[in-house]
Amino acid sequence: MAGVYDLAIVGGGINGCGIARDAAGRGCSVYLCEQKDLASGTSSASTKLIHGGLRYLEYYEFRLVREALREREVLWRMAPHIIWPLRFVLPHLPGLRPSWFLRLGLFLYDHLGGREKLPGTRGLDLLSDPAGKPLKPGFGRAFEYSDCWVDDARLVVLNAQDAARMGAAIRTRTRFLSAVREDGLWSVTVEDARSGRRSSIRARALVNAAGPWVSEVMRQGARSTVDARIRLVQGSHIVVPKLFDHDRCYIFQNADKRIVFAIPYERDFTLIGTTDNDYQGDPADVRASEAEIAYLCVAAGDYFAKPVTPADVVWTYSGVRPLYDDGASTAQAATRDYVLALDAPADGKAALLNIFGGKITTYRRLADAAIAKLAPFLPKLAPGTSDWSSAGTLPGGDFPVDGVAALFAELRGRAPFLTQPHLERLVRTYGTRARRILDSAARPEDLGRDFGGTLTEAEVRYLMTEEWAETAEDVLWRRTKLGLRLDVAQAQALDAFMTEERSRRERASDAAE
């Protein structure tokens, strides 16, 4: 059994990795286990937005919206390569929310969150503005406001990278089995998902950030008696060939009072989502249903001049949101705020913190609140370090928010043999860490084999060495979205390469021992 960690975390999504980074940055020793790949569940299935949540104002979630609005520019500064501003066009449709109601909501949205760099709301004439061109005739007025785009899966990985840089042990493909309190500590048993080998670690405190599996870990794995219930809500998205040429996003109101986004995606596509349905099955088996796909097609087709049909869909993804069950009558009305349920013995040792709900936008604030809850059980916690993470940057994000063009120009000078789309993808994926991938390459051949879609051996090796990628799925659908570009044969060739590369590394490691 290894030495004692200050904190053990179950779950490699945004909450788990955010807490790991926060704790490691405040002087704690941290162990995190994830049963699959980082961001393999809910955290890679979002609508890819850093946003305040305009519709949450209708449910009087003012604290949540205010906190989320304040986080937009904080996160943008931390990771300007994977987060950037996006303008949202909200067409006014008579018979739904009245225009005065929308103006009031957008006024609050502009002024609740200390906006500095993001532009404010303005009105649009859709008859003359290019945003009106893809829409059906009859839409005359719209409002335009700001939020931000994020590559959600990469945000998780960057938090894990930063946590590891500060000493955290990040263990992917490591399944949590059980945790028991022994002599004032947690004894946590885990299993390597590849070999089946079991091992144990000890920790002063335990965080259950297992997302949709939070109840399973809480009741069965840790035998907690905390009285808190989870509500699983499914959110599905579809991706279709791009429906418009400009770089703005649409937010559409529907007759059922829900909203749907249509967002420019990976240069050649449009992302449409999301749904809100209560979910009863195994979270590992969640898929976009035919009914959800049809719903999103109809919702988009109500606004766009060009019909959107299920036959147009090139990819779907779906996730299960682990919301705190506040008794709301509908899934869309259930709170998106986070709830931290502490299970602590009377002796003040071996605390368990269960994480319910949360939004990707407020993950950093959730992490800070989680550490505050656990502070009495973490003697090594550096004093006066609350909210330290807002001042730093995430890996690759150490350049100004308006410095993307300058970074691109630098890499263009370093690697003039690469195409503009290739360089733009590297900058938007890795920021300044693209330098590590390019290294001293002087010609395309120096980057090794091209698997398709500009994905090279050099990039894959970087992802395996620095970002815990082990399979083609990890690379194509989480570290990048090049799964939209590669065909089946190319994906299989990538997987074969990565399998051989893993074996080679294991043989080298065994020989070194």
Upstream peptide bond of 274 is cis (omega within 30 degrees of 0): yes
- The dihedrals phi and psi of 244, each to the nearest 5 degrees, come to -155, 160
The per-residue pLDDT for 81 is 98
Residue 483 contacts by C-beta under 8 Å, 6 or more apart in sequence? 315, 473, 476, 477, 491
The per-residue pLDDT for 370 is 97
Average pLDDT for 393-421: 97
The tokens for 100 are 């005065």
The tokens for 242 are 């791009």
Q: How many helices (H) and strands (E) does the chain have?
A: 13, 20
Averaged confidence pLDDT in the chain: 93
The per-residue pLDDT for 60 is 74
Per-residue pLDDT at 329 exceeds 60: no
Least confident range of 43-57, 145-159, 404-418, 466-480: 43-57
Whole-angstrom distance, CA of residue 77 vs CA of residue 214: 31
The tokens for 126 are 């859709």
More confident residue, 507 or 476: 476
Least confident range of 78-87, 156-165, 215-224: 215-224
Per-residue pLDDT at 2 exceeds 80: no
Percent of the chain, pLDDT > 70? 97
Q: Tell me 217's DSSP state.
A: I
DSSP H stretches of helix in 143-192: 152-165
pLDDT band of 330, cuts 50, 70, 90: low
Per-residue pLDDT at 414 exceeds 70: yes
Q: Is residue 72 classed as helix, strand or coil in its secondary structure? A: helix
The tokens for 74 are 């904080």
pLDDT band of 397, cuts 50, 70, 90: very high
Average pLDDT for 164-179: 97
Strands 169-171 and 122-125: unpaired
The tokens for 494 are 């990538």
The per-residue pLDDT for 506 is 87
* Sign of the torsion formed by the C-alpha atoms of 292, 297, 300 and 302: negative
Whole-angstrom distance, CA of residue 282 vs CA of residue 11: 17
Least confident range of 96-110, 297-311, 325-339, 486-500: 325-339
The Cα-based distances of 306 to 87, 127, 138, 241, 242 in angstroms read: 22, 17, 14, 12, 11
The per-residue pLDDT for 334 is 65
Angle between helices 363-374 and 14-24 (to 10 degrees): 60
Q: What is the pLDDT of residues 264-289, one digit of tens each?
A: 999 999 999 999 999 999 999 999 99
Place of tokens 């120009």: 409
pLDDT band of 490, cuts 50, 70, 90: very high
Percent of the chain, pLDDT > 90? 79
Closest CA to 89 of 43, 32, 135: 135
* 3-state SS, one letter per residue, for 405-452: HHHHHHHHHHCCCCCHHHHHHHHHHHHHHHHHHHCCCCCHHHHCCEEE
Place of tokens 């550490």: 371
More confident residue, 221 or 310: 310
- The dihedrals phi and psi of 198, each to the nearest 5 degrees, come to -105, 150
Global pTM reads 0.96
Q: What is the pLDDT of residues 92-126, one digit of tens each?
A: 887 777 787 888 888 888 888 778 999 999 999 99
Q: Is residue 77 classed as helix, strand or coil in its secondary structure? A: helix
The per-residue pLDDT for 1 is 45
Residue 129 contacts by C-beta under 8 Å, 6 or more apart in sequence? 142
**Residue type at position 221:** G
* Alpha-carbon 336 to chain mean position: 15
Residue 330 contacts by C-beta under 8 Å, 6 or more apart in sequence? 276
**Residue type at position 197:** R
The per-residue pLDDT for 325 is 81
